[in-house]
Amino acid sequence: MKQDIVMPKMGESITEGTIVKWLKKPGDVVQKDEIILEISTDKVDSEIPTPAAGKIIELLAKEGETIPVGKVIARIETEAKDTSPAEIPKPIIEKEVPAAVKTETVAQQPLPSPELPREQLKSSRFYSPVVLNIARSEGISSDELESLAGTGIGGRVTKKDVLEYIDKKKSVTPVARPVIPVSAVRTGATGDGVEIIPMDHIRKKIAEHMVQTVHTSPHVGIFTEVNMSHVVAIREKNKIVFQQKEGINLTYMPFISEASTHALKEFPLVNSSIVGETIHIKHFVNLGIAVATEQGLIVPVIKQADSLNLVGLARAIQDLAVRARSRKLKPDEVSGGTFSISNFGLYGTTIGFPLINQPQVAILGMGVLKKRAVVVDDGIAIRPIMYLSLTFDHRLVDGELGSIFLERVREHLENYNPDLKL
């Protein structure tokens, strides 16, 4: 029987997805849960499995085409009696599965394809036909496959896991590819030392977003100097116990985040967005934290950040950062932000003015924390100083409001109780 496959809904706020690559073509026979295509939303790429076993008879969407959720993208011939449209299961690299269910889920997966029999793998672990075919063509042994830490359901090894392993294996000392300015790239040039690198889907989306924000908002940047003595004292007193108790490092980001949420509640216009000729003021804080990944800059969002204390913010920041770098974020977790923070000080930068993350109207920048000579009570003293910057949309936030807001963030940071226990 013919069965329609529709574009899956990958999150509450996701209404469409882009076909990055079809891994199968009409006439191919597929097993249930076999990866058949790659889909991308703004900043999250996902491998998509087939909902049923059968033969692909038609692909209705082209690579690079953006398709609304629920629209038919392919048809397969199956033995199933039910011919109603089938939504593809949610991406296996993103789905969260309770620990109690993981063992049972893996045990119910289909056997590997006949091309690489189960005996050859010497393992009860499931590998999709795509993974097996890549492993065979690249000469990856069963022992090597067994050693891979999968990012799929129940530790399942995905196509991405294998390809990353192959890249590392081929290059003992990976060389970072430089970002080549567009002006330096000459199409078709050879032998002149110019390397031409095509943009992947995520990089294209980031580029489009950056151009959009510059064309949309008149950017203004200001900065202030913050004495972080009290915050440093809190961190030094609590970091060992915090690490033992929470299993994560205590950084300065939770303090910056909490101070920002307090200031945003006091000055909600900075926590707004412009829609046409109206202003939408948000009386909740969905805090975006910029994270640098191999694929580019991603801004996962802590929803209702104003309801979390320092410890809760630390947990949320760590969780989102780890999953952003391992490409395990859900689409809803990179949308809906009302205000963002960018920590360029992580790389030693003192001052910077990041671009506004549309449709927000402001973004806070964190510089590196350094000990500096400052004037205290008409004397020279050494203090841990951090420069904070605020980039804002001058259509809505003027210099007065921007300055008052940034100074309020500074006041919150400088007035923490140095004896605070976490």
Phi–psi pair at 173, nearest 5 degrees: -120, 90
Catalytic residue among 215, 398, 412, 419: 398
* Integer Cα distance of 413 and 232 in angstroms: 10
Q: How many CB atoms lie within 10 A of CB 408?
A: 18
Chain mean position to CA 236: 30
Distance in angstroms (rounded) separating the CA atoms of residues 8 and 15: 9
Distance CA 277, CA 358 (A): 16
Residue pair 48/38 in contact (Cβ under 8 Å)? The answer is yes
> What is the Cα–Cα distance from 50 to 99, expressed in whole angstroms?
24
Query: Rounded to an integer, what distance in angstroms lies between the CA atom of residue 28 and that of residue 76?
Result: 10
End-to-end Cα, the chain, rounded Å: 61
Which of 209, 394, 412, 419 is flagged as catalytic? 394
**Is there a catalytic annotation at residue 200?**
no
Is residue 306 part of the annotated active site? The answer reads no
According to DSSP, the β-strands at 370-376 and 379-393 are antiparallel
What is the identity of the amino acid at 183?
S
Angle between helices 253-266 and 310-325 (to 10 degrees): 110
Q: Which residues are catalytic?
A: 394, 398
